Structure formats: C-alpha cells, structure tokens
Structure 1
Amino acid sequence: MPRRYGESTRTLRAATPPARPGAPVSPGPVPVSAYHLDPEESAELDFYGRASNPNWRQLEAGLAELEGAAAAVVFGSGMAAITAALRVLARPDSVVVIPSDGYYQVRRYASESLVPMGVTVIEADHQEIYAAAESADVVLAETPTNPNLDVVDLHRLAGICRGRDKRLIVDNTAATPLGQQPLALGADLVVASATKALAGHSDLLGGYVAGSRPELMEAIARERLLSGAILGAFDSWLLLRGLGTAGLRFGRQCANAQALATVLSGHPAVSSVRYPGLPSDPGHALACAQMQHFGALVSIELADAAAVHDLVARSELLVSSTSFGGLHTSIDRRARWGDPVGDGFARISLGIEDTDDVIADFTRALG
C-alpha cells in the first residue's frame, strides 16, 4: 500500500516534477507561443498553445493526485471549469439540479445559458437537493455552501445518483482537496476554483475539473480545446508554485478559522456564527464524517451593514475582498452581491496571520 504522506509533503510533491540529474530543483515556466513542428508530421505532444503546454501537464498531474483522481483538466477560472462540465453533461431535455444556496454566478449561467438550450434547471438548497436528485440527470452540489457554509451529505447524494446512473458534480472550492475528497465519496467529477486557497496569493485566476472516468475527462479536455477557456502558461506556473505551500497555508487558515469562530460565537456583537468545525453548527456531525478539515471560511451575522463597515474600519488586519483563500484575512458583506442574506451577514476568509493576532484584532474592532 502506498505511503500516506502529510498534507505539506503531499502538496510539495504535487508541485514538484520528478528529479532529473542536471535539472533545476524548481524549474521555471514554459511560455506558450509557437512550437517547432516535426517535419515528418508525426503525432506531436505540443503543437499549439490552446491544445497543450508542459506547465499544464505538471499542474494537472498534481491536482489529480491531490483530488484522488485519474486526471485533471485546468481552466482559466473556476467558472470556466464549472460551465465546461455542465456543457459536457447537460443535454436538451435533460434535468439539471444546481444549488440555490451556492455561488450565485452558477445560477445566472444556468438561467441564461442552459435554460435557452432546452435544459430544465431545478434550484435546490442543501436540504432539498436529495429529493431533487431523484428526478435529475445531472446534479451539481456545493459543500460547504457559499456563503452560508451548510454541509451536503455527499455519500447520500452520490448513492441517489449512482442508483439511477446519473452524474454528480461537486464544487470543492471551499473545502479544497485537503479538506474533502468528493470522488472518494462517490462523485463523478470535482470542479473547483484554484484562484482561492490552492493558488493562495490573490494574484491569479484558475480552475479545474478532476475525475476518474476516462470518457468524461476526454470530453472535458475536448470542450476546453474547442472553447478556448485555457489557463495561461505563466498563471499555470504561478499556481503550481503556490500549490507547493498549500498544505502549510491551509493548515494555518483552518486553525485560525476554528479559533475565530469559537471566540465570535460568544461575542455580544455577533448574533450568529456559521462554521462546520463548531460543535454547535448544524452541519458539524456531517462535516466530521466527510471532511478532513473544516475550511478557512467563517460566516457571521452582525446588526446591519454599518456594523460590517465599522468592523473593517476599526480592524488593522482585515482586507475587504470578495475573493477568498489568500494570505490575508478578508471579509465580504454578501448582501451587496444580491445573496439572500441579511444586510449584516459577512463571510470571513482567514489568512495565515498568527492566531492570537487575528483574535485580538477582531475583539478590538468589534468593541
């Protein structure tokens, strides 16, 4: 049985090519421009930048290893990965279930692109999704959900889909492959934004689809080739470089999230706290069963929008940002984007600052 390494070792190995005498320990990026063709016109690995690139192959091998997949295909963003998977699996007259309590852009894509092509789209929240899956051809689940951090039972959902020979896609962005392994729980495909915790430095966009069914992964790769939704060569290298420290960063971020959620759950200025790692959280028992880590996101409810703005103004560490997973602790008032949440609802993404500093900063800023 292969040795099971720790997370920092796994992410470092996933980002590092096999050793070759005379080669650098950490090779630089391979730019994409024109490739030299074989004058004999034999089959070639790299012939055009939209079709393949050495940086992709190394990155995809690492992502597949971390997700426990046979293959991965990288895209220019998480949305590009999600929409590619839906285009491959959704057909006219098919029924697709999407999360009503997940990332809002997915709902927009479904209504503006899938419905006009004859797909029936059902929006279901984390409680309704099991019943909705009974009549669906494709189910897209997000867990923990963004921004409420509710947990979906992937083993149960996969059983429903598998029993009907239907397809389950899981958005693993919030949990990351370090926190959750959807394929091992029965999912057919994993989609994720690598922009967040895996890249980790808030300086690029990227996404991927991972899976172990050859016919699905070949179709996904073909969709990328024809749609052109590629990840740039230099961004691929940056993401690969960031992946090497993801284990260290994510471990600190999760520890900070657990500590902050625990402190804020007893703070008088905070009316509610959502974090799967809290024993009081509705999703805690399920999260313990299917997650290795509870993630770096904490959602809180303050009195109103002004209270969120005051928190940011008084803080010395908080960054106001709608993306998450970076080095810095950030906050986003989700109602500004139209999420069905209260005006004082805020999603916090924990960074890699020292835990005591984060707790002291929030305590001081909340008053």
Structure 2
Amino acid sequence: MHAGETTEVGAPLLAGPTFAAPYRLDGTREHDYYYGRPDNPTWRALESALGELDGGHCVLFSSGMAAISTMLRAVLGHGDVLVLPEDGYYLVRGYVRTELAGLDLDVREVPTAGSWASAIRGARLVLLETPSNPGLDVCDIAALSELAHAEGALLAVDNTTASPLGQRPLRLDADLVVTSDTKAVAGHSDLILGHVSTRDVELAGLLRERRTSGGAIPGAFEAWLAHRGLGTLDMRLRQQAENAAALYAVLREHPSVCGLRWPGAPEDPAYPLAAKQMRRFGGVLSFELPSAPAVAKVLATSELFTDATSFGGLHSTLDRRARWGDPVGEGFVRLSAGCEDPADLVEDLRKALASTM
C-alpha cells in the first residue's frame, strides 16, 4: 500500500491520505503545496515554461474559455467599457452577452482589421485576437497597446491562433495574453487546457486567486501532457507552415475556392503586419467553397483531412464554421495543416477538391 510513496513535502501527484490533497503536510501551511486546488508542482513546471515563452507570469486554467472568462471577470467592473473583435472566437462574444450581462458593460465590437481608435476611448479593457479565428485578419498589437494605454485601458491578446512561440504579445506591450493550449501548445488533440500570462505580478496573483475560488483548475495529468507537447512545438509549427504553404498553392489555383487567407502568404493582405509581429505563421488557413454540400463532398473524398473543430494538432483537419455560429458563409472552411508529408496532403486535397467540380 505504501510502496513508491514519499514523505517529501510537495512531492508529485500520488494517491495520499486526503483526497485531492496528495501532498505530505508538516504541521504548517508555510510551504506551497498543501491542497490540490490552489497549486501543484506539475502546474508550476508548465507555467514556468509558458511564462518564459510569453515573457511574463503564467496562470494555467482548465480550458481556453476558463482562462479568458476568469480574466474578464477579474478585470472588468460594473459599467466598464469592453472592446472586442467582432470577428474573433464567437463563444467569447456570447459569454460577454449572457454571463456578464449583470455588469451592464458598454461592449464595443470592431473588425480585427478595422479602425479601433474611436472604440478604445474610455475603455477599461481592449481584447484583440490576432490572427483572428476563423477569418485570419491581423491587427497591430504594439500600435493598439499604445492607444489603449493612452486611455488608461488594459490590452489583452488572444494568442491561440499564433501560439506563444509564433507571437509574443507581451513583448509588443500588451498587458495580458490568453491562449487555448488545447490547440498548438499541447499539439496532440488529446486534452483541454488554457492559460493567461501577464508581466504584472499583482494581476497574476489575482488570477490565481480567482482560479482557486472559482475552481477552474487544470488536471495535473493534462498539464504534464501539455508540457510534453511543448517540447516539439517549434518543429510542429515549422512543418505545419510548410504544409500550409503547399496547400495554399493548391487552393489558390482551384476554381471552386474563393476568399483564401493565410497570413504567411506574401500576397495575403495581412502578410506585411504578420511578418513584422509574428515569429511563426503556423498552419491555419481559411477559404470558402460554394456550399455546405461542397464541403461535405471534400470531407467524404479526403483520406487525410478529418472533420474536426479544433486546430493546431498533428493531424490535418477541415471545419465548416457556419455550423457553430460564426458569421460566415455556409461553405466557409477553416483548414488546419498538420504534420503529415506535404506531398501526401497536396495529392489528397487535389483529389478531394475535384469532387466539387
């Protein structure tokens, strides 16, 4: 029964005498690890790694939505002005409309590639998502940070599409960066996780307090898996970008495809700004086919692209976004290039697109 156990204070996760508190106590609360909900060493290891990438203090959460919702509740008060991207992740806008309705916020929505200056006036928090999901527009983090700070506002960036290695908003003077680590960070499509990073020690402490009291805590095993995945993030992003470039070339020439976007393509309208502020372009593209049935034909014909609503993993996926509530056309597709052989992906996509003719 006691085989393999340790009496070390704050030892890694093992079954112990108090459920959810598998850490040996020494008669005091003067050490960090006394109960499983406020903290544990497995979270701390991943938070240290992500914080180093982001350039701030990282607070881990059970999901990307847990991270962004906790951040919003921690920062916003009654009657505050919140500025959101109108083309960002649709669940964030829905959360603000429903769960934060009691705060009577002045919510202003701006297209990612639009003009933000007038909307920022008097704001408490400006939330960007760049590149936007799913449209892949880009905005200038440094310039908008300067505008926000001139108004006394905090500026946060949803960095999920780019990843902490692909873009570092805190180094562009953002105050907070939030990421769904379910996507590229973990990279294997086998867990749900998120985090917020900030250079402000007090704000990081407040987020930790809200995580503890609200219970939006990640599992230790999920944190361990994500830390494992982090070690191959750079290699995966490189391969995904190579594959995205190859698939972009195929999509660009196909008559059924319109509205093709990838910030890594020199001809993309977002490319000049993306090249200035991003370190990796990643593997997410978007485009539109003539109809929902056309998307269904592509998925039915393809042998390598999976119908899935996540992105950033090892496996290539296609997702028709209108079914989830994004304000896009019925044939709008978000494609996430995985780490397969590029020649195999190109051949498969060409065959699948031929089914739409």
Q: Deviations over 1:68-117 (max 9, x none)?
A: 22x10000000000011111110102111111100011011100122222
Which 4+ residue blocks in structure 1 deviate beyond 4 angstroms? none
Equivalent runs, 1:23-38 vs 2, <5 Å: 30-31=13-14, 33-38=21-26
- State the Cα deviation string for residues 29-72 of structure 1 (Å, max 9, x = none): 63454322222x25121011001111011000000011122x10
The residue aligned with 1:12 is: none
The equivalent of 1:358 in structure 2 is 345
Q: State the Cα distance separating 1:119 from its structure 2 match.
A: 2.0
Q: What residue number does 1:110 align with?
A: 96
Q: Secondary structure at the match of 2:172?
A: coil
2: CA distance, partners of 1:164 / 1:268: 47
TM-score (structure 1 length as normaliser): 0.89
Q: Which whole-Å CA distance do the structure 2 matches of 1:29 and 1:103 have between them?
A: 35
CA RMSD of superposed structures (Å): 1.4
Contact 2:120 2:151 in 1 (8 A): no
Structure 2 residue 134 is matched with structure 1 residue 147: yes
Does 2:172 match 1:185? yes
Partner of 1:356, secondary structure, is helix
The amino acid across from 2:26 in the alignment is: D
**Ranges in structure 1 where 5+ consecutive residues have no aligned partner:** 1-27
Q: How does 1:263-274 map to 2 (within 5 A)?
A: 263-274=250-261
Report what 1:86 is aligned to: 72
* TM norm structure 2: 0.92
Partner of 2:231: 244
Opposite residue 25 of structure 2, the aligned amino acid is L
Distance in 1 between the 2:253 and 2:281 partners?
19
Aligned length: 338
Change (3 A) 1:198 1:42: closer
Stretch deviating more after TM superposition (277-286 or 79-88): 277-286
Alignment partners' CA distance in 2, 1:288 and 1:321 = 28
Q: Name 2:118's counterpart in structure 1.
A: 131
C-alpha separation in 2, matches of 1:337 and 1:226: 31
Is the partner of 1:289 in helix, strand or coil? Answer: helix
One-letter identity of the residue aligned with 1:206: L
Alignment of 1:1-367 (within 5 A): 30-31=13-14, 33-39=21-27, 41-69=28-56, 71-126=57-112, 127-367=114-354
- Residues 194 and 85 (structure 1 numbering): CA distance in 2 closer, same or farther, change over 3 Å? same
CA distance in 2, matches of 1:30, 1:356: 43
By how many angstroms is 1:257 displaced?
1.1
Give the conservation status (yes or no) of the 8 Å contact 1:76–1:231.
Answer: yes
**How many angstroms apart in 2 are the aligned matches of 1:241 and 1:98?**
33
CA contact (8 A) 1:102 1:145 kept: yes
Q: CA deviation at 1:301?
A: 0.7
Q: CA deviation at 1:300?
A: 0.9
